[in-house]
Amino acid sequence: MKTKPFFFFTLLFIFQITFSQVDNTKVFQLLDKETKQPIAFATIMLKSKNRGTHADTEGFFEIPLKYIRDYTIHITSIGYISKEIQLSKITFSSVTILYLEPANTVLDEVVIRSKKKKEKRILAYSIVKKAIANIPKNYPTKPYSYIGYYRDYQQPVNQEYKKFVNAKEDIDYINLHEGIIEVFDAGFGTNQLTNKQNQTVLRSFITNTDFRVDSTLTVPYDNESKKFSDNYKVTPLGGNELNLLNLVNAVRNYDKMSFSFANIFERDFLENHTFRVKKIQYLDGKTLYEINLKTKKTNFRNRYFASGKIYIDKERFAIYKLNYNLYYGNINNLQYAITTEFSEKNSKMFLNYITFNNQFIARSSNYFKVDKVKLNINSFAFKVEFNKDVNLETLKPFKRKFKATYKNKFLKIDRVTMLDSKTLMVYLDTSQVYILDNKNEKSFITDFNFEVRNIKDVFGYTINKKVNLKFNQYRELFVQELFTNKDLPLNTSFVNKMKPLSESKIESLNIADQYWINSPLKKGKKE
């Protein structure tokens, strides 16, 4: 039996948007000045406001018009020179392009002196070890809170889903849920699910109907038939995607189980991985070690392996960023990817953003099948209605494709005709009409059986064959404002941790428009 890695969890239990995104924001795209490639997940802060946003995977971000006239933005990203831009001096277009210059990166001089790879790895191991030991000192152990933009969505892995739903255009996003959430965290070392001081307030939440909605893909993972992966298991947690996002934050949950092969981060991460300093990176005046990591040989027949990067402050040995990717079989078969980044405030490291995506398979219930079979007793024929358009070429030879029996005896089929693209008539040989003698329609149907075999719909799917469709599931949270001394509110409804976010009550803010949705752009709006 094949053993699957899974996400380890400590428990076995189990402001509506009232403004127009287009009319009230300016859209930007952040690019590398040298390569002209998008810079993903850069941090964009309103200077003097301590509030901001982040670029998405394609470098896009938005700023509300209310901030354009009087504010300067401060843009940072690991490996790039920080940049400040006065918004009022920008000449805007439908999408305004901004550039960051790469920072010059070099290997640390200590590493350069070491000519042996083994010594470099020892140095990297020591850096990571010290960073893990320093977590209680570098991260908050007392309550804090933050407000951020949350979203989850799905994307097809290939073109199969597009064909299945007969879509004319490529499908970028499915079931895009997004909103503003306020998270109250009792501090590192506390359990995010069970501690009553760890709560989330839903400030806004919508399903973005600008993109495709498919409710069959939003069911919780059952890891068996409806929603599953061939190679690993995902704890469903009531279908609450935010729970999964929180629990794969291995640094925040350093003393608890997280995911394979980080496991309990403070105990297992060093043991399960090898490390190597790649180079020095820079972030807004900070010097960071960029350290490559990969799993050692595992007990899973060496089919599972992980690689990634961890960025550690050279002075304080604080973890600024952890990127972790799990593969099955080969480097092209990514199973899940997690990226967590922290930022410093008041000498402590707080969450800046976290992203988590995993691959899953959905078995669609909307496969090609017969909807209705109705007897026309006068014509000695059956009207057959399908749920999808039938490929006419696959009906022949019809004597092999259609089977009719009465009291377990075969009935001859005379001919098959199409009434429309989804409906056909199957006529029985009239020489057998005697079986209707002294029988009404009801008694005939009781002993009659009808089957359709091996015909296909116009998209090439075979009758009664359930279809497995492959998707990526994304969950992303971008912190917009941090509060280091804000009490848990009273008389407020918190998110039900065992139900999807869509079923939680929204507790809107009077200042809701100060925190904004950074929705993905549709293709036509990117040009």
Query: Which pLDDT band, with edges at 50, 70 and 90, does 112 fall under?
Result: very low
Q: Can you say how many angstroms the Cα of residue 27 is from the centroid of all Cα atoms in its chain?
A: 23
The distance between the two most distant Cα atoms of the chain, rounded to a whole number of Å, is 101
CA distance 161 to 338: 25
Q: Are strands 319-328 and 334-345 parallel, antiparallel or unpaired?
A: antiparallel
Task: Give the strands of the sheet with 409-410, arranged side by side.
Answer: 409-410, 402-406, 448-452
What is the percentage of the chain residues whose pLDDT exceeds 90?
A: 60
Query: Which pLDDT band, with edges at 50, 70 and 90, does 25 fall under?
Result: confident
Name which of 336-345, 362-371, 486-495 the model is least confident about.
362-371
* Token reading at 382: 């059956």
Mean pLDDT of 291-315: 87
How confident is the model at residue 177, as a pLDDT? Answer: 96
Most confident range, picked from 331-335, 354-358, 406-410 = 354-358
Mean pLDDT of 98-102: 96
Summarize the chain as % helix, strand, coil (round to 5).
15, 40, 45
Q: Which of 415, 471, 477 is nearest to 200 (CA)?
A: 477
Query: Which pLDDT band, with edges at 50, 70 and 90, does 16 fall under?
Result: very low
Mean pLDDT of 283-292: 95
In 166-318, which residue ranges form alpha helices assigned H by DSSP?
A: 241-247, 265-272
How confident is the model at residue 98, as a pLDDT? Answer: 97
Q: pLDDT tens, 405-423? A: 888 888 888 889 999 999 9
Listed in order, the ranges of the chain carrying CATH 2.60.40.1120 are 21-100
CA distance 370 to 401: 13
* Beta-ladder partners of 334: 327
CA distance 243 to 236: 9
Mean pLDDT of 319-337: 94
Whether residue 436 has pLDDT greater than 60: yes
Q: Report which of residues 227 and 438 the model is more confident about.
A: 227
CA distance 96 to 161: 33
* Beta-ladder partners of 45: 52, 74
Domain spanning 21-100: which CATH class is it, in words? mainly beta
How confident is the model at residue 12, as a pLDDT? Answer: 28
What single DSSP character describes residue 12? -
Instruction: At 194, give phi and psi (nearest 5°).
Output: -95, -25
Q: At what angle do helices 265-272 and 117-133 cross, to 10 degrees?
A: 170
Q: Are 401 and 452 in contact (CB under 8 A)?
A: yes
Burial class (CB in 10 A: 0-12, 13-18, 19+), 52: buried
Fold of 370-452: Immunoglobulin-like (2.60.40)
Most confident range, picked from 56-60, 448-452, 466-470 = 56-60
Q: pLDDT tens, 212-221? A: 999 888 888 8
Mean pLDDT of 13-28: 53
Q: Are 75 and 98 in contact (CB under 8 A)?
A: yes
In 194-313, which residue ranges form alpha helices assigned H by DSSP?
A: 241-247, 265-272
In 117-276, which residue ranges form alpha helices assigned H by DSSP?
A: 117-133, 135-138, 160-164, 241-247, 265-272
Q: Are 240 and 497 in contact (CB under 8 A)?
A: yes
Whether residue 312 has pLDDT greater than 80: yes
Identify whether 397 is preceded by a cis peptide bond (ω within 30 of 0): yes
Mean pLDDT of 224-243: 81
Q: Which helix (H) or strand (E) holds 181?
A: strand 174-185
How confident is the model at residue 106, as a pLDDT? Answer: 56
CA distance 62 to 22: 10
Mean pLDDT of 146-152: 96
Q: Report which of residues 222 and 7 the model is more confident about.
A: 222
Q: Which of 254, 136, 271 is nearest to 192 (CA)?
A: 254
Whether residue 438 has pLDDT greater than 80: no
What single DSSP character describes residue 233? B
Mean pLDDT of 463-489: 93
What single DSSP character describes residue 261? T
Q: Which of 417, 427, 9, 449 is nearest to 221 (CA)?
A: 9
How confident is the model at residue 105, as a pLDDT? Answer: 63
What single DSSP character describes residue 395? G
Q: Are 254 and 2 in contact (CB under 8 A)?
A: no
What is the percentage of the chain residues whose pLDDT exceeds 70?
A: 87
Name which of 19-33, 166-180, 427-441 the model is least confident about.
427-441
Q: Which residue matches tokens 């030991």?
A: 133
Q: CB under 8 Å, gap of 24 or more: what pairs does 309-314 form?
A: 309/278, 310/128, 310/131, 310/275, 311/78, 311/281, 311/283, 312/127, 312/128, 312/131, 312/288, 313/286, 313/287, 313/288, 314/108, 314/280, 314/286, 314/287, 314/288, 314/289
Whether residue 9 has pLDDT greater than 70: no
Q: Which residues have C-beta within 8 Å of that of residue 397, sequence separation ≥ 6? A: none
